[in-house]
Amino acid sequence: MSDTRYTKDHEYIRVEGDTGIVGITDYAQSQLGDVVYVELPAIGKAVEKGGEAAVVESVKAASEVYSPVSGEVVAVNSDLESAPGAINEDPAGAGWFLKVKITDASELDGLMTEEQYADYVKSIS
């Protein structure tokens, strides 16, 4: 079973065992507009909770994607390099950015549940 958590910076992490799949939320992609470029981290890179994990550029802006947890990058979605539009089309599915081997599962406790995130988005919209 997977458990999805959210940050106030509009990243999600879908937890499957000791690995988390990281991407940006539907709200984030809608704010960015059409995504035209993605810079993914190297496999094996250590990421810190709240630290930069990737970069996404759209027709409107460039933005960092922050890691919701600390860990090691174990996979990246290299399909995004040739088809960055997948982030707009399916941010929670085909538009994922990277997979992180989670080093401290307690960091997940500070993240929002889907319901909390939905309330948060309503409060800023």
pLDDT in tens, 23-73: 999 999 999 999 999 999 999 999 999 999 999 999 999 999 999 999 999
pTM: 0.96
Total structural domains within the chain: 1
98 or 125: which leads in pLDDT: 98
Domain that holds residue 97: 3-105+113-119
Q: Is 24 a member of any domain? A: yes
Name the β-bridge partners of 21.
14, 99
Please give the Cα distance from 96 to 113 (Å, whole number). 18
Please give the DSSP secondary-structure letter assigned to residue 67: -
Q: Is 124 a member of any domain? A: no
Q: Is 125 a member of any domain? A: no
Query: Given this model, what pLDDT does residue 2 score?
Result: 61
Three-state secondary structure call for residue 106: helix
pLDDT in tens, 68-120: 999 999 999 999 999 999 999 999 999 999 999 999 999 999 999 999 999 99
Q: Is 81 a member of any domain? A: yes
Q: Is 8 a member of any domain? A: yes
Q: Is 93 a member of any domain? A: yes
CA 117 remoteness from chain centre: 14
Query: Given this model, what pLDDT does residue 86 score?
Result: 97
Q: Is 9 a member of any domain? A: yes
CATH number at residue 11: 2.40.50.100
Pairing of β 11-16 and β 19-24: antiparallel
